[in-house]
């Protein structure tokens, strides 16, 4: 599969841009790379959560009486 790139232009207020610059700088990244990484991570979390919910629907959610069992969604917002 060939993947291309596209341009997305955003208008954001100065305070938000400064916060993004600060977060990006702490990680040694450009603002563009920081924002893209954040969006990719959020998209992954969303898709992972959907997969967990689909699995729980398919297999049935674990009973609440089993305290030792770790649910696949542990740690997902």
* Per-residue model confidence as pLDDT tens digits over 32-46: 999 999 988 888 888
When divided into structural domains, the chain yields a total of 1
Residue numbers of the domain that contains 50 = 27-58
Residue 71 falls within a domain, yes or no?
no
Question: What's residue 63's pLDDT?
Answer: 61
Residue 6 falls within a domain, yes or no?
no
Which of left, alpha, beta for 51 (phi over 0: left; psi -120 to 50: alpha)? alpha
Tokens standing for residue 66: 């089993």
Output the pTM of the full model: 0.59
Say yes or no to pLDDT of 68 above 90.
no
Residue 67 falls within a domain, yes or no?
no
Q: DSSP secondary-structure letter at 59?
A: H
Residue 52 falls within a domain, yes or no?
yes
CA distance linking residue 10 with residue 48, whole number of Å: 27
Residue 75 falls within a domain, yes or no?
no
Angle at 38 between CA 32 and CA 75, to 5 degrees: 165
Q: pLDDT: is 5 or 22 the higher one?
A: 22
């Amino acid at each position: 599969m060939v993947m291309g790139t596209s341009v997305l232009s955003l208008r954001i207020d100065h305070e938000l841009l400064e916060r993004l610059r600060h977060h990006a700088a702490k990680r040694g990244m450009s603002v563009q790379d920081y924002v893209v990484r954040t969006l990719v991570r959020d998209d992954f979390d969303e898709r992972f959560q959907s997969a967990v919910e689909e699995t729980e629907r398919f297999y049935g959610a674990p009973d609440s009486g089993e305290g030792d069992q770790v649910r696949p969604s542990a740690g997902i917002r």
